[in-house]
Amino acid sequence: MPKKIAVLAGDGIGPEIVAEAIKVLSFLNNDMNLGLVFENALIGGAAYDAFGTPLPQQTLNLCKNADAVLLGAVGGPKWEPLAHAVRPERGLLGIRSELNLFSNLRPAILYPQLVDASTLKPEVVSGLDVMIVRELTGGIYFGQPRGVHVAENGERVGINTKIYSESEIRRIAHSAFKIAQKRHKKLCSVDKANVLEVTELWRQVMTEVGRDYPDVELSHMYVDNAAMQLVRAPKQFDVIVTTNMFGDILSDIAAMLTGSIGMLPSASLDANAKGMYEPIHGSAPDIAGQGTANPLATILSVAMMLRYTFNETAAAERIEQAVNAALDGKVRTADIYSEGMTKVSTSGMGDAVLNALKG
Ligand code: IPM
Ligand code: MG
């Protein structure tokens, strides 16, 4: 049976970075007989322009029938005036929700070659390897009621709801504990339990689930402190588990520790390890079409796909080693450039990874 990958390039730099990831993956597919087949579809603003919706039914069907989804990025200023219901971002949120991709893994690893690209001191970030596990289908991103309405006194009122059921917390907790078991067995659950009842429940359920994982050391931290600790002493963390919105924010912070948000891949998994894989950076409309974007986050997302959905560990490792080799070769896209390096374009970086794979 061929393994089907739905490819959704999306908007902005999405098509440029996805093209490089597909270049790398196609080579491995042939070289290692992985049996992967690719099918493209539209999402986000591109889908809105073509079909009037950011998540057309045929795109959703393709994703449901695929074994994995590779996504570039969605959104851009062109679609900002649109109503929320048809914004490009809704396409992405729709897939996450429709496919039940509740467990979002965002590894922040500092490649030693990029220690000077980080805005933090080398001693603070060198050796950094943190995994953020973000709950992805609940919380304030999806809670009802939501919207903006006019109150009785004529004033406009905006509302979003942060809501988590026990079962939603439990399943992301199990996901995070299992990941911690395979790493350094330290899990920090991030909440705002001093103010928000919903995260008081979060903390209680995390503690309850923790009894099933006596080998993992569980700690709790308030989100404001966690943000501070991530820039003060990020190496204290092994695995962080947190809610949808806190995870959104903390993973951008973690990204910058690694030198550039252009380096961070992600996996969004359902209960059966079916997943969507995407770089955590957005569509970067300011540099779209210039061939300057960093494709490494997308290429590393493909490595995560091989590891988590297809159990092709050897293939995943080959990609990661090739990325390392490309960085050793001193090629850098603009976002990770420093003096003495060779500046390359998006496809130049893709080629460097490909050449390293070819050996
Ligand atoms: C992310 C992004 C998305 C999010 C946006 C594009 C909807 O910021 O994946 O982190 O907020 O989840
Ligand atoms: Mg984000």
The CATH number of the domain holding residue 17 is 3.40.718.10
Q: Does residue 111 lie in a domain region?
A: no
Q: What is the number of the ligand 1 atom nearest to the C-alpha of 278?
A: 9
Q: What is the number of the ligand 1 atom nearest to the C-alpha of 136?
A: 12
User: What is the model's pLDDT at position 199?
Assistant: 98
Asked whether the bond before 122 is cis by omega within 30 degrees of 0, the reply is no
Q: Does residue 112 lie in a domain region?
A: no
Residue 80 domain boundaries: 1-102+261-359
Q: Which residue has the tokens 């990958």?
A: 5
- Alpha-carbon distance 315 to 274, whole Å? 18
- Based on the domain organization, do 157 and 214 belong to the same domain? yes
- Based on the domain organization, do 13 and 60 belong to the same domain? yes
Q: Does residue 47 lie in a domain region?
A: yes
- Alpha-carbon distance 32 to 317, whole Å? 13
Helices 244-257, 223-232: axis angle to 10 degrees equals: 10
- Based on the domain organization, do 266 and 217 belong to the same domain? no
Q: How long, in residues, is the chain?
A: 359
240 Cα–ligand 2 center, Å: 16
Active site residue 224: yes
254 Cα–ligand 2 center, Å: 11
User: What is the model's pLDDT at position 210?
Assistant: 98
Active site residue 49: no
- Based on the domain organization, do 95 and 138 belong to the same domain? no
User: What is the model's pLDDT at position 57?
Assistant: 98
List, in sequence order, the alpha helices (H) in 182-284: 197-210, 223-232, 244-257
User: What is the model's pLDDT at position 259?
Assistant: 85
Q: Which of 111, 37, 101, 79 is nearest to 329 (CA)?
A: 111
Q: What is the number of the ligand 1 atom nearest to the C-alpha of 248?
A: 10
Active site residue 116: no
∠ Cα 19 105 312 (to 5°): 60
Protein residue closest via CA to atom 6 of ligand 1: 89
Tokens of residue 122, six digits: 């080398």
Q: Does residue 120 lie in a domain region?
A: no
- Alpha-carbon distance 311 to 296, whole Å? 21
- Based on the domain organization, do 171 and 247 belong to the same domain? yes
User: What is the model's pLDDT at position 118?
Assistant: 87
- Alpha-carbon distance 287 to 305, whole Å? 26
∠ Cα 315 65 100 (to 5°): 85
- Based on the domain organization, do 37 and 137 belong to the same domain? no
- Give the residues surrounding ligand 1 with Cβ less than 6 Å away: 75, 89, 92, 248, 280, 282
Domain boundary among 187, 222, 257: 257
The one catalytic residue in 252, 270, 337, 351 is: 252
The one catalytic residue in 48, 248, 274, 335 is: 248
The one catalytic residue in 141, 213, 277, 308 is: 141
- Alpha-carbon distance 261 to 336, whole Å? 10
Answer for the pair 67, 5: CB distance below 8 angstroms, yes or no: yes
- Based on the domain organization, do 53 and 149 belong to the same domain? no
- Based on the domain organization, do 332 and 233 belong to the same domain? no
Q: Which residue has the tokens 């998006």?
A: 346
Q: Does residue 293 lie in a domain region?
A: yes
Instruction: Please tell me the total count of domains within the chain.
Output: 2
Q: Does residue 167 lie in a domain region?
A: yes
User: What is the model's pLDDT at position 31?
Assistant: 98
Concatenated DSSP letters for 264-309?
---EEE-TTS-EEE--SS---GGGTTTT-S--HHHHHHHHHHHHHT
- Based on the domain organization, do 31 and 54 belong to the same domain? yes
Protein residue closest via CA to atom 8 of ligand 1: 248
Q: Does residue 153 lie in a domain region?
A: yes
Domain boundary among 193, 226, 257: 257
- Based on the domain organization, do 137 and 252 belong to the same domain? yes
Domain boundary among 237, 257, 277: 257
Protein residue closest via CA to atom 4 of ligand 1: 248
Q: Out of 248, 266, 276, 301, give the residue to mutate to test ligand 1, the one with the largest number of ligand atoms within 8 Å of its CB.
A: 248
Identify the nearest ligand to the CA of 92 by its number. 1
- Based on the domain organization, do 337 and 246 belong to the same domain? no
Active site residue 141: yes
User: What is the model's pLDDT at position 117?
Assistant: 85
Q: What is the number of the ligand 1 atom nearest to the C-alpha of 74?
A: 6
One digit per residue, pLDDT tens: the chain, 359 residues? Answer: 789 999 999 999 999 999 999 999 999 999 999 999 999 999 999 999 999 999 999 999 999 999 999 999 999 999 999 999 999 999 999 999 999 999 999 999 999 999 988 899 999 999 999 999 999 999 999 999 999 999 999 999 999 999 999 999 999 999 999 999 999 999 999 999 999 999 999 999 999 999 999 999 999 999 999 999 999 999 999 999 999 999 999 999 999 899 888 999 999 999 999 999 999 999 999 999 999 999 999 999 999 999 999 999 999 999 999 999 999 999 999 999 989 999 999 999 999 999 999 98
- Based on the domain organization, do 142 and 186 belong to the same domain? yes
